[in-house]
Every structure is written in structure tokens, then in C-alpha cells.
Structure 1
Amino acid sequence: MILHELISYDVLRLIWWALLGVLLIGFALTDGFDLGAGTLLPFVARNDSERRTVINTIGPVWEGNQVWLILGGGAIFAAWPQLYAVSFSGFYLAMFAILFALILRPVAFKFRSKREDPAWRSRWDWAQFVGGFVPALIFGVAMGNVLQGVPFRIEHDMQIFYDGTFFGLLNPFALLCGLVSVTMLVMHGAAWLQLKTEGHVAERARRFGIVAALLTVVLYAVAGVVLANFVSGYAITSEIVRGGASNPLVKTAVMQSGAWFANYASENALWVVPALGLAGSMAAAICLAVRRPAAALLTGGVGIAGIIASVGVSMFPFILPSSVNPSVSLTVWDSSSSHLTLFIMLVSTVIFMPLILAYTSWVFSVLRGKVDSEAIRDGKGHAY
């Protein structure tokens, strides 16, 4: 038996669907608090010393955290090439805006301290805000558009065409999802700042975090109601071939009201996923209120994981539905790379993922404890 046949094609596809979700959640849990802290920077810090304190909570870790975004993009490219082709070309301007904001963040880290002029530093602090807020918003907007279906089509020669526009992405439901993304990452960033700082910064972060956590609960619940009543889902109407060749043109599918809740209706246990999104966010608000930042960071992370996972659970087996022609929608079963490619990638993941997790854990262990604002003001050691 050939080695890669030890795991069947359909199982490998399911594993990589789950791993894609893990990578997205990993990015939200790690780089998410960086984005949230950057968004909060102009509001929780009132003077230069306080702002330097906030910046130094994320400055040493943001590059490592952003590895999860690179891993996610690489996984999409290698495991789901058609998904990569549609999303990275159709959402080109949105992706450019995200990249611009993410590139602006390290520039702000480096250039802020080049001059002591308050106006100069303030401008770079607002650049940090842009670097946190814009990606958080657009990631959520993109998810909202995926739930509604993306206007792409695939011709019989397998050429892919995107028929939408950038401003078409900014529809009401997508913007609602964008707000959910912003509030949940601000909640996460606030918990991080309360954990890593003290005094006025920690107290302001606590208050903003409570509001953000409660807004996350409300907006996520509202998005669920809108999704159930006003957004059509998608359903496959032909026989599902789980282990066949990757060709999205061989099936038929339709838009169908309430289809995104069909999986929950067939498996009631799946309701635990969105329940974790609501319960984790509410628990984070409570933990922030009683000044338990570590617990708030943990429970908020559970809430974020539940919110992101609920999208995947709702859409399964779809990964990118087409609003132009539902039958060419990309699913777990018909848009993956080859059996051998998925197997080789899985072996690589089994080898290298534990190393990444071990290194990340070691870094956070070394950097544990609060940022010493007095040391920053006195110029002791390296500080942003």
C-alpha cells in the first residue's frame, strides 16, 4: 500500500478543513490581542509614558503572532488552491487594505521614537489604531460576505471569474459581522492590557473591555438572528462524492432560506459551538469586571474560538459559496489539492506545529509579568 493511502482522501479533506479553522482561530487568539490593543491605544493611554507602556506590551510579540496569518494563507494556497484563487483575487482591494494596515503597524513601532515631538508621536499612535482597527473590521466583513455568497463563477474550462466590486462587499450584514470582529478583538486586547499593565491604563482597558465584551454578545446574537431570517444559505442538491476528484462543476446546489442552520438541526450537539461564543464573551465581561485579567483572556479566547468555529460549522461542507451560480460553490469535497499533497502537508504539520507551539509558549513564558512603566520612563533596557 502506498503510504499516503493510509488515510483516505475524504478524511484528509476533513482534517484540512478543521486545520484551516484551527489556523484562523490561532491567528485571532494571538495576533488578535495585538490588533485589539492597537485599536485601544489612543483611548486607554493619555500621555506619552502610558502609550509607550501599551506599545511595549505588544511590541516584542506581534511578529511571532503574525506567523499564524502566514500559516493560514499558506494552508489555503496549498490545501485549497481554488479558494485561494477566488478569495485573494476577488477580495484584492480588501486584502490590499489589510496588508497596508499590517505594514503600517511595524513602521509605527519603529518611527514613533525617532522624534520626541508630541504631534509626531501622536500621528504614529493613530497609525497603530489604523493597523489594529482596519484588519479587524475587514476580516469580519470578509466573513460576512462569505456567509452570503461571493459573486464568482467557474467556466467549463475551469477559469474563475469574479463579478463583484469592492464597495459591494460593504453591505449591511457584512458590516455587522465586521463590528462583531472589532468588538471581540477589542475585548481580547483589553484583557491583555489589563493583564500586562497597571494603574490608569489597566483600569481604562478594563472599562473598554467590559463594553466590548457585552457588545460582542449582543452583536453576535443579532447577527445570528439576521442570518437565520434574512440571509439565504446554500445546500447541495446532488449526490455528494466525498473521495472523488476535485471538480466543483460536477454537483448541483441551490440558495435556500435557513440552510446555514441545517447542520444544527441534524446534530443538536453542534449548538454548543455558538453557545461557547456567547458564554465565553459574557464570562470575559464578568472576569474583567472583577479584575481577573488572566481569566478574561482565557474565557474571551473561548468566546472568539466559538464565534469563528460557528461559521465553519454552519457552512459545512461549503467553504466558499457562489451567489452567481450556487452549483459552482467550493466545498470541502470538491476543491482541495490532491490526496498526496494533503498527506505531505499533514506530515509536515505534525512535525512542525508542535515546534511552533513550543517556541510560542517559551516566548510568552520569558515575557511573562507586567510591563514596568518606571523602567520605560527611565530608559532602562530596550523599550519602544
Structure 2
Amino acid sequence: MILHELIDYETLRVIWWLLLGVLLIAFAVTDGFDLGVGALLPFVARSDVERRVAINTIGPVWEGNQVWLILGGGAIFAAWPQLYAVSFSGFYLAMFAILAALILRPVGFKYRSKLEDPSWRSSWDWALFIGGFVPALIFGVAVGNVLQGVPFRLDDDLRIFYEGSFLALLNPFALLCGLLSVAMLVMHGAAWLVLKTSGPVAARAQRFGSIAAVLTLLLFALGGLALWLGVDGYRFVSVPETTGPSNPLMSEVVRDGSAWFANYGAHPWMMLAPLFGFLGAFGALLAMRAGREVLTLLLSKLSIFGVISTVGLSMFPFILPSSIQPNASLTVWDSSSSHLTLFIMLISTAIFLPLIALYTSWVYKVLWGKVDEEEIRNESSHSY
């Protein structure tokens, strides 16, 4: 037997679908609180010292957290090449906006303290706000468009033609998903600030985080209602070939208004995902008001896990539906790399992913504790 045949092609495809979800969730629960703190910066911190306190809660860790985004992009490129080609070309301007905003973060961290001029520092504080708010919004907008279907088509040679525009991405349902993403990550950022700071910054973070948790609950419910009433899903006309070649045009797909909810009827255990989304946000709200710092952060992570998992489970096995040529929709069964490629990548991931997780855990252990305002004033131990 050839080594890579130890795991059949169908199973490998599902494993890589799961791993993609793990990487996206890992990015959201780590770099997500960095984005949330950036979006909260002008509001939770009023003096220069308070803003430095907030910045120093994420300054030592944001770079490592962003690794999960790079890993997710790499996984899409290697495991789902057609998904990479369609999404990174069709969402090109949106991706550019995200990258431009993310670039403001390291520049803002490094340059903010170069001058003591208040207007100089205020400008960089707003740059850090943009670096947190814009990616959080656009990531959610992208998910909203994926749920609706993306306007691309494939010709007989599997060449990709994207027929959408940047402004078309900013439709009402996608913007609703974008606002949910912002509320969810602001809640997460507030939970981090409550854990890592004290005094006025923590008190304001608790107040804004409570509001964000309530908005997360409302927007998540409203998004589900809008998806049920106004957004068509996609389904196969017949059972797809799960071990066949990666050619989407070999399947027949149609739009169906109830398709995104069919998985929950077939597999009731999947209802745990939206339940975690609601319970996590509600629990984070209660824990935040009760001053349970660690529990607040854990429940915020649970909510993020539930919200993102809800999207993935609702769509399975679809990854990127086509709104103008449903048969071109990319699914787990027809848009992956080869059997051998997925197997080699799985072995590499089994070696390196635990190492990354262990190193990340060690970093957080070393940096455990609150950022001290007095040390900020004395310039004794903090970088920014």
C-alpha cells in the first residue's frame, strides 16, 4: 500500500476542512482581542498613560497572534487552491483594505512614542483604531458574502472569472455580518483589557464590553433570522462523489432557501454551535459584570467558537458557493489539492502545529499579569 493511502481521500478532505476551521477560529480568539483592543483604544483610554497601558496589553503578543492568519492563508493556498484563487482575486480590494489597515498596527506601535507631541500620538492612536476596526468589519462582510454566494464562474477549462465589484460586497446582509464581527471582537478585546488592566481603563472596558456582548447576542440572532428569511442556500441535486477529482463542474448544484439550515435537521448535535455562540456572549456579559476576569475571556472565546462554527456547519460541504453559476460552487469534495498533497501537509501540520501552540502558551504564561500604570509612568518595564 502507498503510504498516503493510509487515510482515504474523503477523510483527508474532511480533516482539512476541520483544520481550516481550527486555524480561522485560532486567529479570531487570539488576534481577535488585538483587533478589539485597537477598536476600543480611543474610548477606553483618555490620557496618554491610559492609552499606553492599553497598547502594552497587546504590544508584546499581536505579532505572534497574527501567525494564525498567515497559517490560515497558507492552508487555503495549499489545501484548497481553487478557493484561494477565487477568494483572493474576487476579494482583492477588500483584502488590500485589510492588509493596509493591519500594516498600521506595527507602524502605530513603533512610531507613536517617538514624539511626545499630543497631536502626533493622537494621530497614531486613531491609526491603531483603524487597524482594529477595519479588519474586524471586512472579515465579517466577507463571511456575509460567502453565505450569499460570490459572483464567479468557471469555464470548461476551469478558468475563473469574477464578475462582482467591491461596492457590491457592501450589501445589507454582509454589513450586518460585518457589524456582528465588530461587536464580537470588541467584546473579546474588552474581556482582554479587563483581565490585563485595572482602574479606569478596566472600568471603561467593562462598560463597553457589556454593550458589545449585548450587541453580539442581538446581531447574531438578527443574522440568523435574515439568513432564514432572505438568503438562499445551496445544495446538491444528487449525492456528490466524495472521492472524485477536484472539478466542481462535475456536480449539479441548485439554490435552495432552506439549504443552510438542512444540516441541523439531519444532525441535531450541530445545534451546539449556535448555542455556544449565544451562551458564550451571554455568559461573558454576566461574568464581565461580576468581575470574573478569566471566566469572561474564556466565555468570549466560546462565543467566537460558536459563531464561526455555525457558519461552517451551516454551509458544509460548501466552501464558496457561486451566485451566478451554482454548478461552479466550491465544496469540500471537489476543490481540494491531491490526495498525496493533503497527506504530506497533514503530517507536517501534526508536527508543527502542536509546537506553535506550545510556544504560544509559554509566551502567555511568561507575560501573565496586569500592565501596571505606575511602571508605565516610570518607563521601567514596558515597551510602548
TM range (shorter): over 0.9
How far apart, in 1, do the equivalents of 2:269 and 2:48 lie?
50
SS in 2 for 1:164: coil
Q: Is residue 191 of structure 1 aligned with residue 172 of structure 2?
A: no
C-alpha distance in 2, partners of 1:292/1:33?
17
Give the structure 2 partner of residue 334 of structure 1. 334
Shift of 1:381: 2.8
Q: Counterpart of 2:310?
A: 310
CA–CA separation in structure 2 for the residues paired with 1:205 and 1:35: 14
Q: Which residue of 2 aligns with 1:78?
A: 78
Inter-partner Cα distance in structure 2 for 1:7 and 1:333: 15
Separation in structure 1 between the aligned mates of residue 192 and residue 91 of structure 2, nearest angstrom = 31
Partner Cα distance (1:126, 1:32) in 2: 18
2:56–2:382 Cα contact (<8 Å) kept: no
SS state at 1:345 partner:
helix
Give, in whole Å, the separation in 2 of the partners of 1:27 and 1:187.
Answer: 15
Q: Secondary structure at the match of 1:334?
A: coil
Distance 1:240 1:322 in 2: 17
Work out the CA distance in 1 between the residues paired with 2:171 and 2:136: 16
AA aligned opposite 1:183: A
Q: What is the CA–CA distance in structure 2 between the aligned matches of 1:210 and 1:35, rounded to whole Å?
A: 17
AA in 1 matched with 2:217: V
Report how far residue 269 of structure 1 moved: 1.4
Secondary structure at 2:255 match in 1:
strand
Counting only pairs closer than 5 Å after superposition, residues 1-384 of structure 1 correspond to structure 2 as 1-384=1-384
Q: Tell me how far 1:382 sits from its aligned partner.
A: 4.0
Deviations 1:202-231 (A, max 9, x none): 000000000101100010000000101110
Q: Which runs of 4+ in 1 moved over 2 A?
A: none
- Once residues 370 and 170 of structure 2 are traced to their aligned partners in structure 1, the CA distance between those partners, rounded to angstroms, is 39
**Matched residue SS, 1:324:** coil
- Aligned equivalents of 2:161 and 2:263: distance in 1? 30
| CA distance, structure 2, for counterparts of residue 60 and residue 268 of structure 1 | 42
Shift of 1:147: 0.1
Post-superposition shift, 1:258? 1.2
SS class of match (1:255): strand
**TM-score normalised by L of structure 2:** 0.99
Task: Let me know the Cα RMSD of the aligned residues.
Answer: 0.5
Question: Structure 1 length normalisation: TM-score?
Answer: 0.99
Task: Tell me the amino acid that sits aligned with residue 202 of structure 2.
Answer: A
SS at match of 2:256: strand
The separation in 2 between residues aligned to 1:271 and 1:378, in whole angstroms, is 51
Counterpart residue type for residue 210 of structure 2: I
Identity among equivalent positions (%) equals 67
Secondary structure, in 3 states, of the residue corresponding to 1:140? Answer: helix
CA distance in 1, matches of 2:312, 2:259: 13
CA distance in 2, matches of 1:374, 1:239: 64
Asked if the contact 2:375–2:382 (Cα under 8 Å) also holds between the matched residues in 1, the reply is no
SS for the counterpart of 2:191 is: helix
> How many aligned positions are there?
384
Post-superposition CA distance 1:108-162 (Å, at most 9, x none): 0001001000000000000000000000000000000000000000000110000
Q: Measure, in 2, the Cα distance between the counterparts of 1:93 and 1:120.
A: 29
Amino acid at match of 2:191: A
How far the C-alpha of 1:91 sits from its partner, in A, is 0.1
Superposed CA deviations along residues 157-205 of structure 1, whole A, max 9, x for unmatched, are 1100000000000000000000000000000000000000000000000
Q: Distance in 1 between matches of 2:125 and 2:274?
A: 35
Mapped partners of 1:382, 1:206: distance in 2: 23
| 2:180 and 2:216 in contact (8 A); partners too | yes
Rounded to whole Å, the distance in 2 between the matches of 1:138 and 1:269 is 30
How far apart, in 1, do the equivalents of 2:239 and 2:60 lie?
51
* 2:336 counterpart SS class: coil
| Contact in 1 for aligned 2:183/2:212 (Cα 8 Å) | yes
Tell me how far apart the structure 1 counterparts of residues 4 and 327 of structure 2 sit (CA, whole Å): 30
Give the CA deviation at 1:238: 2.8
Q: Secondary structure at the match of 1:19?
A: helix
Tell me the amino acid that sits aligned with residue 256 of structure 2: Q
1:239 Cα shift?
3.2
Pick which of 233-242 and 145-154 moved more. Answer: 233-242
CA–CA separation in structure 1 for the residues paired with 2:361 and 2:269: 32
